[in-house]
Amino acid sequence: MNAAGTGGETLRPTMPPERKARRRKRVNIVPILMVLPSLVAIAIFVYGFIGWSGYVSFTDWNTLARNLDFAGWKNYLFLFQDFRFQSDLRNTFVFTVLFIAVTISFGLLLAVLVDRKIRAESFFRNIFIFPMALSFIVTGVVWQWILNPSTGVNLILKAIGITDVPKWYVSTDIIPGFRFGQIELGLPVALIAVVIATVWQLSGFAMAMYLAGLRGIPEEWKEAARVDGAGEWTIFRRILLPQLRPITVSLIIMLTHISLKIFDLIYAMTGPGAMFVTDMPGVYMFETTFRGNHYAQGAAISMVMLVLISLLIVPYLLSSMRKEEA
């Protein structure tokens, strides 16, 4: 029987300290058991395979027959002396700069326009975001037809009397084009078509990010600035842009990550291109590994891509961790 306490309350028996400790330990181990399968899978299928690729990149396995003899830095030296890989590095740098600059600028412009509370805002917002629902393969196929020199937009240009139509992604011109080693440095004209396709797909994502940031800025700040005589451009430059800086940094990180490992859109739209003017390390790695059966060289390309991405991601993660600890 339970003993009656004062006021008619029932007194509950006290749990022994040893039993409390066992229950606390049992409760704490449940979250670990829940995430353990995911941790094991990540350890094997992510970091384990990264380690395996790194090991293979230092071997002589460049035929169908497996050869894990140690080859040192031979595969990496071959890559950095290879005309195609040097072209890939040039293309990656140029594409990344253009893609990020245009996507962020266009996304910010769309966000500012939509934030004006225009009519049919939801309609326009959905139209701009819709391309994100498509895969890069679909985008590549669609824009391949649109920018094909003999079809698509060039037919419209010819119909209105423009005979000197652009070559788009089949051009081998490089602007300004000065030689550095084996390659010409500059902007491959064919990459402009690829930038147009990627900006079309991802500018809606940038718009959504900036729009969320703009809607989070208190309207009172803008009103106070207007009362003090600030114009719309001053408000945008002195109030809105500084508040949107964290979003801009996040967008740069995400878009750079996409540009450094881009494969499917290039493969579907242009392929490596003549003189490798639209080639990227991802395409080179795929063809080297799965078509040429040069597994060690393919692994070396993938490790170079990993290092390029890590140079961007790791400092950002370390900076974020320091801010959280502070």
How much is the pLDDT for 19?
Answer: 65
How much is the pLDDT for 1?
Answer: 45
Straight-line distance from the first to the last Cα atom of the chain, in angstroms, rounded to the nearest whole number: 54
Dihedral sign for Cα atoms in the order 250, 256, 134, 115: positive
Q: What is the per-residue pLDDT across 62-100, written as a single tens digit (0 to 9) for each?
A: 999 999 999 999 999 999 999 999 999 999 999 999 999
Please state the rounded mean pLDDT for residues 43-55.
95
Average pLDDT in the chain: 88
Confidence of residue 126 (pLDDT cuts 50, 70, 90): confident
How much is the pLDDT for 176?
Answer: 86
What percent of the chain clears pLDDT 70, i.e. is strictly above it?
91
Tell me whether residue 31 is exposed, middle or buried, using C-beta atoms within 10 angstroms of its C-beta: 0 to 12, 13 to 18, 19 or more: exposed
How much is the pLDDT for 110?
Answer: 93
Q: Is the CB of residue 88 less than 8 Å from the CB of residue 275? A: no
Instruction: Determine if the peptide bond prior to 176 is cis (ω within 30°).
Output: yes
Tokens of 209: 């990010």
How much is the pLDDT for 121?
Answer: 81
Domain 87-280 has CATH 3.30.1490.100: no
Beta strands in the chain (DSSP E): 174-180, 183-188
pTM comes to 0.85
